[in-house]
Amino acid sequence: MNYLLKILIAIGFIAIQPDVSAQETASSGIRVSGEVFSVLTGKPVELALVNCGDFSSTFTDEKGEFTIEARSPDDIISVSAQGYHPKDILLSGRSRVSVYLSGEETHSFQEQAWFGYFSKKQIYTTQSVVSVRNTVAESAKSGIGSGEAVFDGRVAGLEARARNGIKGAGSDLFLRGYSSLYGNNQPLVIVDGMIFNTQSYGTSLIDGYRSNPLASIAEYDIENVTLVRDAASIYGAKASNGVVFIRTSKATQQATVIDLIMNGNYEMAPDNIPMLEAGQYRTYLNEILLSKGLTADSINRMPFMNTDPSVPGYYKYQNNTDWQKKVFADNYSSNVGLRIKGGDDVALYALSVGFSQQKGTVKGSDNSRFNFRFNSDINFSQKVTLNSNISFNYIKKNITATNIFSYYDAVAQARVKAPFLQEFIQNDQGVASPDLTNYDFLSVSNPVSLIENGQNEDMNNLLFASLNFNWDLSRNLTLSNLVGMSVDKQRQSVFIPRAGIAPDSTDAGVIENQMKARVLRHFVINNDIRIKYEPRLGVNHSLMLLAGARLNVNTLEEDWGADYNSANDQIRSLGNGNYLLRQKGGTIGDWSSLVWYLHSDYGLKNKYLFTLNLGLDGSSRYGSKADGIPMFGTRFCFYPGMAAAWIISAEPFLAGSRIVELLKLRASWGLTGNDDIGNYTAQKYYVAKNLLGYQGTMMGNLWNPALGAERNSRINAGLDMSFFRERISASVDIFRNKTSRMFDYVTANILTGFYGYYDNRGGFTTNGIDAMVRARVANRPLEWDLGIVLSKYATKVDDLFDQKRITPVFGANILTEEGRPLGLFYGYATRGVFAGDAEALQSGLSNRMANESLVPFRGGDVIFEDFHPDGIIDENDMQVIGDPAPDLTGEIFTELHFKRISLQASLGFSVGNDVFNYLRYTLENMSTTNNQTTAVVNRWRYQGQATEIPRAAYGDPMQNSRFSDRWIEDGSYARLKRVSLTYRLPVRSKWVHSADLFATGINLLTFTKYLGLDPEFSLNGFALSQGIDVGMIPQNEMVLLGVKLGL
């Protein structure tokens, strides 16, 4: 602290010295003249403001001409006019310039990029930065219901993979691939200068459900999103995956501005998977029972085979029910939002409030959200100001199903239930009663009972607030302190009824109904004190120094309980079940981090730009012997970063070019880290244990005091370009991200009593390229913009302690091996199906069984490739059968304006990614009595039959359904993600100054060969879980209608 205090005092003395370089006068300037034109019309722009810093300023005349005094031949003049992007012109020795202003709705490198505490135009950034503006009108048309909708598909290198189609589920964000094997791969999110937690903590009681914190930010509250794709070293061990800066709405003028948004959308139910109908299923069931060892006579005596209407119970099995139609339905949702901006000389404010009621396509599911935000900028004096940002959100969801394959998931049960049954009890004459049937003789639950009688409720309250104090110590020196807090409370209530649901057997007893509850509280305190120094060094030099300390303190507590077998289904609260089956648990976590940081920007002649970032990051999560500098009872890691840029177009040989508007070369290098290693993984702790009635304590983990943060080195080189007065703009970046000291699980000695421990070992490298191109294809009368973003990356494992590792994930085998890409599918290659026993015998192939015996294949079995040629199919024959990483991802977008009509469309695509279709695996393995898809109609059934579908066999003794390329598919797709038509009504009255009517179609068309429900999905945010489609609720077609009023 003493060293920091000395530095601050020294800077303070420098800052209050007389500013000699600023003592220039207009008489020492040089005369510059020019004219200002509109790119849209080509006509002169009258009354455009032209200024040269605070040295001189003027306005253009009716011809768009101006004359102004500049300080030097390398000075900058700025031009701004209503309806246009402000533009900086680097003189580069010119005494006359022609300026062309682009409309404010178009993309421009002259736009501001916001970095939490400061902003700068993109033209002056040295790092790989993308800035995305957002307007209320754009947000009103999204229909997504989550904050990431603002930048989805607009940033090269950023994949926003939708988790599923559940309302408000959101997306997993991957910025330039992965940085960690077992840790967090999501970028750091900063909202109004404060860290915003986007991770899900604890254990959800609802299978397949994850919370989405970004859903608490209403799209229309977001004003700007800036993404830093290379190293953001000042955020230390939290920025290994890049940084997303979100700036929420602020008032910029005193006049009151009111925006009202109202929309409603109609969402169509997903397409049904083609399942066997009653007759087909009855035939399949007969075959599977025969393979189980039952005789034909015993099967024919079963009730479902009865063909005599006079036999009681006949009509119970004479149905043809499409169970998927019983759980899915089209639905309607509505949303209303109000935003008010205004203020006076003392304070500016922005207030927003909104409510949405979204119905899901699974019957009984919904998502309600109430959001409130109040931002203000208060001037206490000319030197002291306060920025406040306060938001509160309440979200309540009823999640009747996620389609994770579960006995308690309505959609999963609907797909496997026998179609010859129905949901209501029938009498002997076939008349249905209003009472729901119980679980069937095959122990499959009634999915309608799960929806109507079950409960999966999730509630979330989030208070996110910050106060940022600013004190101008002098004209060059500003002291600021941001203090903020986040209070997040989540509640879950789950009830699985007895009626209609198959009981579950456990070691403790039979479970008939279930009552569960969970509460999670996450409290965060943030404090960020910093000092900014911007001396005036003359025209040819600019400098900005920002030094500070950022403290982040977290307290988390999770408590859950589970009760079973209450007296009846009307008793649903904890404490009313069988105490012998009762369960409870939870977690308590406290962690904190402290970062000392320095950020500096230096510019020479406004065209040679340099950035230096330094971060010294400490965390309570680090072990006592981890790498780093010991301070304050923990270890601090040093994270440096540097970047440089050269604005080539500002050189005399390009200045004033009619073709080249901007040509900027960038390069950067930096270190960041990842502290997602667990709160106590590096610490020794003990847990309570009961053994045979005796209570005691035992070691809770095999701790590693040398465990510290992962390290990520990022190298980036980029080129920003714009041509023909910004009608064409492009950015291209090549990058290399290298993770070392990887957070990895290491097998322990068996004598320790633990399976393993975590250590910093190994690493991998990601190389890639990002590109963005935008063009104004046509101007007046039709304005047409067209753009594309592209991204390609490849990740290779460099070092692994065990060289080769196979990780099972949802039935898939994931290969991690030195020298290979990360996360490969590893299984068996297939070559069809044996047409008969003779062909199988001729092949000489046998299957190694679990007991090590060898059993020859026969007709109807899958032909597996004998990769290790020995005539035996076993683990030695496994090989790489797919790669979930795409070869190329991107999005094409376009926008057209004609008079009062606007049309926008975006087409997202992914090429070359393989997918493990786990849902198809569960519905086509023909090893159980569950219903199957219609693909199994072509299964092998007789000698000599040529088919690609093997025989049905209960229990799958020959492992025909093992993980193989049978289940690997090409996941490439192109999707019309959004098309929106807007008409601006010719309304201008005392109360309404604008009115926009709009219609938006979402996910209307998808082009793919993939057989699954949806080619776009994300199981979770871990690197080894990508490309595994468990069949979650898909994204569906949606049509949205609405109005946006300016009052």
Give percent of the chain with pLDDT exceeding 70: 97
- How would you classify residue 319: left for phi > 0, otherwise alpha for psi between -120 and 50, otherwise beta? beta
Mean pLDDT across the stretch 457-480? 96
pLDDT score for 400: 84
d(CA 584, CA 559): 8
Q: Which two tokens stand for residue 679?
A: 């709160």
Contact 1016, 911 (CB under 8 A): no
* HEC readout, 612-623: EEEEEEEECCCC
d(CA 806, CA 644): 42
Count of C-beta atoms within a 10 Å radius of residue 23: 9
What CA–CA distances, in Å, run from 437 to 432, 440, 498?
Answer: 10, 8, 12
d(CA 635, CA 620): 8
* Closest-CA residue to 735 (of 228, 135, 12): 228
Using the predicted structure, report yes or no on whether residue 21 has a pLDDT greater than 70. Answer: no
Point out the least confidently predicted range of 495-499, 522-526, 653-657, 660-664.
Answer: 653-657
Q: Please give the helix or strand (H or E) that residue 1040 lies within, else none.
A: strand 1038-1046
| pTM of the shown model | 0.92
Using the predicted structure, report yes or no on whether residue 404 has a pLDDT greater than 80. Answer: no
Count of C-beta atoms within a 10 Å radius of residue 357: 15
pLDDT score for 430: 85
pLDDT score for 91: 92
Residue 992 DSSP SS3? coil
Report the length, in residues, of the chain.
Answer: 1047
Q: Which two tokens stand for residue 260?
A: 């009202």
d(CA 355, CA 262): 10
Point out the least confidently predicted range of 249-253, 288-292, 938-942.
Answer: 249-253
Read out DSSP for 900-930? TEEEEEEEEEEES-EEEEHHHHHHH---SSS
d(CA 153, CA 144): 13
Q: Please give the helix or strand (H or E) that residue 394 lies within, else none.
A: strand 384-398
612 forms bridges with which residues in the sheet? 600, 642
Contact 1016, 173 (CB under 8 A): no
Reported as a single tens digit per residue, the pLDDT across 39-48 is 888 899 999 9
d(CA 827, CA 1011): 20
d(CA 913, CA 147): 26
Point out the least confidently predicted range of 405-414, 526-535, 951-960.
Answer: 405-414
d(CA 588, CA 559): 9
Count of C-beta atoms within a 10 Å radius of residue 872: 15
- Confidence at 317, pLDDT banded by 50, 70, 90: very high
Count of C-beta atoms within a 10 Å radius of residue 507: 4
Contact 214, 170 (CB under 8 A): yes
pLDDT score for 60: 95
d(CA 194, CA 527): 9
d(CA 718, CA 667): 6
Q: What share of the chain is helix, strand, coil (3-state, %, to 5)?
A: 10, 50, 40
Contacts of residue 82, defined as CB under 8 A and 6 or more positions apart, other chains included, come to none
Using the predicted structure, report yes or no on whether residue 478 has a pLDDT greater than 70. Answer: yes
Reported as a single tens digit per residue, the pLDDT across 868-927 is 999 999 999 999 999 999 999 999 999 999 999 999 999 999 999 999 999 999 999 999
Ranges assigned E (strand) in 810-861: 812-817, 824-827, 830-833, 846-848, 854-856
d(CA 669, CA 665): 14
* Closest-CA residue to 1022 (of 204, 242, 180, 243): 180
d(CA 523, CA 525): 7
Going by their DSSP bridges, the two strands 812-817 and 846-848 should be labelled as unpaired
Q: Mean of the per-residue pLDDT values for the chain?
A: 92
Contact 779, 726 (CB under 8 A): no
d(CA 734, CA 318): 64
d(CA 480, CA 466): 13
* Closest-CA residue to 361 (of 402, 324, 331): 331
Reported as a single tens digit per residue, the pLDDT across 695-752 is 888 888 898 999 999 999 999 999 999 999 989 999 999 999 999 999 999 989 888 8
Q: Which two tokens stand for residue 997?
A: 């009517």
pLDDT score for 19: 42
635 forms bridges with which residues in the sheet? 630
Residue 279 DSSP SS3? helix
Mean pLDDT across the stretch 322-333? 95
Residue 844 DSSP SS3? coil
533 forms bridges with which residues in the sheet? 477, 545
Mean pLDDT across the stretch 787-806? 95
Mean pLDDT across the stretch 613-630? 94
* Closest-CA residue to 393 (of 219, 224, 250, 518): 219
Mean pLDDT across the stretch 948-977? 97
Map out the domains of the chain with their CATH numbers. Answer: 2-104 (2.60.40.1120), 829-877+926-960 (no CATH)
Going by their DSSP bridges, the two strands 756-760 and 743-747 should be labelled as antiparallel
Going by their DSSP bridges, the two strands 846-848 and 872-873 should be labelled as parallel
* Closest-CA residue to 768 (of 788, 790, 792, 789): 792
pLDDT score for 28: 61
Burial category of 717 from C-beta neighbours within 10 Å (exposed 0-12, middle 13-18, buried 19 and up): middle
pLDDT score for 9: 42
d(CA 113, CA 115): 7
Please report where in the chains the tokens 């810093």 appear, as a residue.
Answer: 53
The separation between the first and the last C-alpha atoms of the chain, rounded to the nearest angstrom, is: 52
